[in-house]
Amino acid sequence: MEFIGLFTGITIISVILFIIGISLIILEMFTTFGFSGFLGVLGIITLIVNIFITANTIREGIMLTAIFFVIVVILLAVFMTLMSSGRLPQRLVLHSTEAGFSGTEDMQYLLGKTGTVVNICRPVGNVDFDGVKLDVTTRGDFIEKGTTVEVIEVEGNRIVVRSV
């Protein structure tokens, strides 16, 4: 296998495509635009197109693409190993949960409270408790919209109601 002369086809277009491909992959790591993976896949496609533009022959392009995928698989394996063993760099690990919803609010104050069903409970639905809409469940009953319900059980953030 001869690697001499392997990168003789590098042009300004190849460098630009490489920068665009890497930038798209990095951008994918920090943003999500609804379809998770779109920018990353586009970046990988850009890099593969760049490999074939840079290669002198189709055989060389296939060989470079294979090398590219082997490197990606090795990097993913190393990352997954570090992640599963808990040895990721500390900058990549979230340590604080102060900002955000924890879902552990004590909802016991709702016991006995009445509200109005906003949409049909089948058996899960929404109930308006004095202007605050919450997800609730029934004990298997279907309750029509507009029905008055009472909270009969609260477990964590699970609120169980019955019609009154």
In this predicted structure, the answer to whether residue 15 has a pLDDT above a threshold of 60 is: yes
pLDDT, one tens digit per residue, over 130-163 is 898 999 999 988 999 999 999 999 988 889 999 9
| CATH code for residues 108-163 | 2.40.50.140
What are the sequence ranges of the domains in the chain? 12-92, 108-163
Question: For residue 18, what are the CA distances in angstroms to 38, 54, 83?
Answer: 17, 10, 28
Q: What is the pLDDT of residues 102-139, one digit of tens each?
A: 555 678 889 999 999 998 888 899 999 989 899 999 99
pLDDT (tens digit, 9 = 90+) per residue, 38-68? 888 898 899 899 888 888 888 988 998 899 8
Q: Which pLDDT does position 91 carry in this prediction?
A: 63
